[in-house]
């Protein structure tokens, strides 16, 4: 099982949300419409890297942000690999 420190998408989700001028409440509501019962508090934990995200949740986040799945990952591959050693 992944530890919470292995959440590599949280910061990217926050940046993308800001870029789209969405509040956490608005993004959570978009996810709810798509079938994921996501609260603002849970989204805050995801963005802070405290809560890991399942594959299905990644899919919904990407769809809610109108992005490809790959866009949710950091551009720096070293940052992703570094999470494996934490």
Distance, in Å, from the CA atom of 81 to the CA atom of 25, rounded to the nearest integer, reads 31
Tell whether 83 is covered by a domain.
no
Output the pTM of the full model.
0.86
Tell whether 1 is covered by a domain.
no
Tell whether 85 is covered by a domain.
no
Could you tell me if 65 and 46 are in contact, meaning their C-beta atoms sit under 8 angstroms apart? no
pLDDT tens, residue by residue, 12-68: 999 999 999 999 999 999 999 999 999 999 999 999 999 999 999 999 999 999 999
Tell whether 23 is covered by a domain.
yes
Tell whether 32 is covered by a domain.
yes
The pLDDT of residue 4: 44
Domain count, the chain: 1
The pLDDT of residue 77: 79
Of 85, 38, 86, the C-alpha closest to 65 is 38
Which structural domain range is residue 19 located in? 9-67
pLDDT at 73 over 50: yes
Could you tell me if 65 and 26 are in contact, meaning their C-beta atoms sit under 8 angstroms apart? no
The pLDDT of residue 5: 59
């Amino acid at each position: 099982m992944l530890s919470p420190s292995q959440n590599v998408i949280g910061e990217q989700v926050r940046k993308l949300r800001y870029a789209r001028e969405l509040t956490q409440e608005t993004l959570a509501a978009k996810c709810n419409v798509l079938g994921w019962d996501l609260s603002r508090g849970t989204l805050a934990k995801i963005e802070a890297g405290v809560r890991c995200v399942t594959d299905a949740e990644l899919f919904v986040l990407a769809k809610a942000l109108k992005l490809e799945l790959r866009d949710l990952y950091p551009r720096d591959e070293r940052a992703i690999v570094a999470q494996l050693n934490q």
